Amino acid sequence: MKYIKFIALNLVVLLGCSVMLQAQNNYKNWSDIIRKSDASWFATPEAQNIAENVLLYQRNIGGWPKNIEMQKTLSDSEKQRLIALKSNLHDITTDNGATYQEMLFLAKIYKQKPDERYKKAFLSGLDYLLEAQFDNGGWPQFYPLKKGYYTHITYNDDSMFHILTILKQISETSDYYGIPIPQDYVSKAKVAFDKGIICIVKTQYKQNGVLTAWCAQHDENTLTPAKARAYELPSLSGKESAKIVLLLMTIDNPSPEVITAVKSAYAWFEKTKITNLEEKRILNNAGKVIDKKMIVTQNALPIWARFMELENNEPFFCDRDGVKKKSLDEIGAERKNGYAWYTDEPKEVLKKYPNWEKKYAFEKSEKKKIEDKNTITVAQDGSGDFKLIQDAINATKAFPYERVTIHIKNGTYYEKIRIPEFNNNISIIGESKEKTIITYDDYFGKMNLGRNSTFYTYTMLVEGNDFSASNLTIQNSSGDIGQAVALSIMGDRAYVFNCNILGNQDTLYASGNNSRQYFKDCYIEGTTDFIFGKATVLFENCQIHSIKNSYITAASTPEGKEFGFVFKNCTLTADKNATQVYLGRPWRIYAKTVFIECKMGSHILPQGWENWSKPEAEKTAFYAEYNCSGEGYKPEKRVLWAHQLSKKQAKKYTSENVLGFEAQRGKETK
């Protein structure tokens, strides 16, 4: 009987141990233990045993090595080895959550069991973080510095995010999960945090002059995107950038620079999200990923590539050979299945941004009643009524009786602007043509809306009548990648003075039913058909610049219209590699284009005009010149179906006749 009781007692003990082990197994990894939400668990003997390991693994300099499962039982010999390593300065890091996780664990257990050793170890860790910071505000991956890419400023695996999160809480609360922080540490933490934010702002990557996101690591001297491992090339990171922005969004009363950083990154996340792919993982019996497939799916939840090209945001993938591939299927199974190539982390940015924007981005504009103002100022630094041009347009009264003038201070405004038909009588005035830049980068292939995708690619679309613009640069920055409109004007009586209109193919779309437009003292550049449309347009004293061999104009003048595109006193120039440029070709067969007293560079082809494989257009189109000059003006060699105007004929091309209204109106935009 006693023997049976003994067996039963042992079974109970074994069952109890089994239950305890099963509970422990719910947290197999060190990172899982850190995230335990049950505060009372940190008062258990189990937690205290782990804390002893954490103390043993900490080096005298204050930091910890990475990838240590702190919860594993240590033998006596292992403990002695760790004691011997205390003064060793190798492999101490903040990578993969190291140091941050141990500090967080110590703070949580101190709150339940206030052992002074935990507090001392935490403060030693804080000393380590403060010492490791570069003067420019960033942190290396390893400190003391380890040769190689490890010296770069590292956002990889959210290292700097975790460091700054600790410093932020300390600087704001003088406390970290229950550990009281001495005041001198609080002050140091505040300084270090502010330096870190400055570093983040300075390292945000500019793509064609527009702020975007961050690389996983940046050169510690130049602050430019930098390479890490062979398959971690300089790129824009869809993963690491998310936590950076979320951190910036937690800052109370953010500076204009931080606000701009957040808004720019948000726009980049919106632009680069992928909604037609889903990742499918194939697992073996042990739950290990043995294959990944990207499946084309309509209306999929948004994901982002972890690595995107610095120039154009295109996703890429690398094997250990460091050779870029365009799809996940092109790399070997080891890297394909053993690395996170896509992420959904930016979804939190998109989710939280509207409330952040309402609180900070428009705080000033919400306080001002501007609905009935006739003068509005847009400034990125918050000194105006709005920080975004589109917001200013949206706030103007529909069909105003008096002209509304929107002054835009210098800055690069990455915006896709639309001025609707009901927002007429608007003037947009930049602070300077060179430094007030409105830019966006949509193009035909990116829009992917069918054969008419060109018309959706605009940077600025003007549908309202009586529009005027001056002292601006309006740019489509997508590059030489197909049809990409910078400025599209559909409204009537439009005035554009002293502006740069920049792009490649289809830079300026001048269209609209019965639309009349006047461009004066402007610089317009592009590649193919970069001035096109059916509007009646007078270009006066403008520089028309060809980037490569192609066509300047592609008019689609409606049948019966007396005037189409008219260029007066303009200068036609070109890049060095552009040596064979046509004045125009007919997009539609009744096209009308005339050059009067213009100076033409040698890049203009002797024949001047081309029929676009439409022989019938030679009878219906009207292409003409009068009294032009320069090496490109060769009237005797023009195609036979083009015209040279007589002096009498040229006289009818006055601004009043062409436009039907006084072209000097709009002087207030100068």
Which of the residues 95, 506, 521, 575 is marked catalytic? 506
Chain length of the chain = 670
Task: Judge whether 249 and 348 are in contact, CB under 8 Å.
Answer: no
Distance CA 607, CA 554 (A): 16
Could you tell me the two tokens for 485? 């409109």
Strand partners, 388: none
Which of the following is catalytic: 157, 381, 529, 575?
A: 529
Q: Which residues contact 323 (CB under 8 A, 6 or more apart)?
A: none
Q: What is the DSSP letter of 371?
A: T
Report the C-alpha gap between 472 and 309 in whole angstroms. Answer: 29
Q: Report strand pairing: 289-296 vs 277-283.
A: antiparallel
What 3-state DSSP class applies to 225? strand
506 has catalytic annotation: yes
Q: How many CB atoms lie within 10 A of CB 522?
A: 25
Q: Is 529 a catalytic residue?
A: yes
DSSP string covering 470-530, please?
A: ES-EEEE-S-SSSB--SEEE-SSSEEEES-EEE-SBT-EEE--TT-EEEEES-EEEESSS-
Distance CA 292, CA 284 (A): 12
Q: How far apart are CA 127 and CA 354, in angstroms?
A: 37
Q: Could you tell me which residues come within 8 angstroms of residue 487 by beta carbon, excluding any fewer than 6 positions away?
A: 458, 459, 460, 462, 474, 496, 501, 507, 508, 509
Distance CA 164, CA 244 (A): 10
Token digits of residue 66: 């990475």
Q: Which residues pair with 418 in a beta bridge?
A: 461
Nearest to 551 by CA among 605, 621, 628: 605
For 596-623, the DSSP string reads ES-EE-TTB-TT-B--TT-TTHHHH-EE
Q: Which residues are catalytic?
A: 506, 529
